[in-house]
Amino acid sequence: MDSAAAVSELRETFAAGKTKSYEWRVSQLKAVLKITEHHEKAIMDALFSDLSKPELESFVHEISFVKASCKLALKELKRWMKPENVKSSFAVFPSSAKIVSEPLGVVLVISAWNYPFMLSLDPVIGAIAAGNAVVLKPSEVAPATSSLLAKLFKDYMDTTAVKVIEGSVPETTALLEQKWDKIFYTGNGKVGRIVMAAAAKHLTPVVLELGGKCPLVVDSNINLKVAARRIIAGKWGCNSGQACIAPDYIITTKENALQLLDVMKVELDKFYGKDPLCSVDLSRIVNSNHFYRLTKLLDDDKVSGKIVHGGQRDEKKLKIAPTILMDVPEDALIMKEEIFGPLLPILTVNKVEDSLRIINGRDKPLAAYLFTSNKKLEQEFVTNLSAGGLLINDTALHVAVHTLPFGGVGESGTGSYHGKFSFEAFTHKKAVLKRSFGGDLSARYPPYTPKKGRLLRALLSGNLIFIIRALLGL
């Protein structure tokens, strides 16, 4: 089925009201949950085929994440759907007011390849919970997962309302030519601009989950061993650095840098061994194009001699060892673009407070990290650093807190999701005001007289004494 035909069928389904019922939403959320519970091995196999992703990473970062999202939506859906009663205004007395959450309609989810299962299903869960009809376009860069999702959706989901359309650039282009009620895109800024331009033709709202160079600042007054382990987990333990929230570069003081480096070397050897290219716990680079892109960053003349750990590469395995670079110049290629891989530069400053100037001189990141025991420094970062999310004394874990919105700001994206925020991302908050036929105020209607004017001014001011005086003609 081509894009136009798919959208047409979905619009018919949505117009019939099928997706709006609580029962339909629950049935589809349960179907997604069954997919994760009944096909865990197939999902892990697909993720290994696409990325050599370790089973534990596949379970924790993808399968378990989707399960938790489904279970939360099933638990909270009635409450999310319930109209919210709000206070009315004295100026429209007598009346009642409420906010009704209604589905947007037919929505498009374009997923990414680095977490191809989770980044596909988590937004779809929000779209279904909100009562929309959905097209999912998985990433062709993760073909095994894309193919598996297409099969499982046919087997488990209501395909009159939830569809998977596979393909690459031509298929995505055709999808973007259609009129949608919302587009949710996860990926890079270059494609994000294409998505936004296509959406603008139909005034379609978009959520753009992008990335950027996520900074990590390390103060000197901390437990370096714990910090090093958490940095490694957030960088190389997240898909070998192929994650939008992976730390992109470290900033620390000159005095602290060598101590941090020594501890990180020890911990990296513990985690991945002396020959990390043979480690089964380290994901590979997704394909040869990204492998060459990353080796180009390492082969830049401006980083010559800057590698202080790692640097090994295996083109056949598409693997690059965890690599740390020290004192990389800010105009080097590796500092100009998002790394999205297992390379981690360390920049040094005279004092840790100088890091804010460096970070704020760049595009706003999707995530920023600060390791410190200094409350004053912590507050300065919270107040003066703009990022999609800020995590103190750890990396990446904020993504798992469903009560926090996950999304970018500026170049790192627009809009947010996770938990109830996923439901709201695909929902229109409709204002509903209801009045009785009593209390019809003549001052509202012509002819306008000075007395009516005084009364209306008093009503709009909300001051009860003024209203009484106006009614009495005082």
Domain parsing of the chain, residue ranges: 3-210+417-429, 215-407, 441-472
Say which of 209, 338, 411, 424 is annotated catalytic. Answer: 209
Residues contacting 290, CB < 8 A, separation 6+: 242, 340, 341
Burial of 348 from C-beta contacts in 10 A (0-12 / 13-18 / 19+): middle
Beta bridge partners of 208: 185, 414
Whether 244 is catalytic is yes
Q: Which fold has domain 3-210+417-429?
A: Aldehyde Dehydrogenase; Chain A, domain 1 (3.40.605)
Whether 214 is catalytic is no
Which CATH class, in words, describes the domain spanning 215-407?
alpha beta
Q: Flag whether the pTM goes above 0.85.
A: yes
Task: Give, for all 474 residues of the chain, the pLDDT tens digit.
Answer: 689 999 999 999 999 999 999 999 999 999 999 999 999 999 999 999 999 999 999 999 999 999 999 999 999 999 999 999 999 987 788 899 999 999 999 999 999 999 999 999 999 999 999 999 999 999 999 999 999 999 999 999 999 999 999 999 999 999 999 999 999 999 999 999 999 999 999 999 999 999 999 999 999 989 999 999 999 999 999 999 999 999 999 999 999 999 999 999 999 999 999 999 999 999 999 999 999 999 999 999 999 899 999 999 999 999 999 999 999 998 999 999 999 999 999 999 999 999 999 999 999 999 999 999 999 999 999 999 999 999 999 999 999 999 999 999 999 999 999 999 999 999 999 999 999 998 788 888 899 888 888 877 777 776 666 666 655 554
Residue type, 158: D
For residue 20, give the 3-state DSSP assignment. helix
Say which of 62, 244, 338, 411 is annotated catalytic. Answer: 244
Rg (CA), the chain: 27
Q: Do domains 3-210+417-429 and 215-407 have the same CATH topology?
A: no
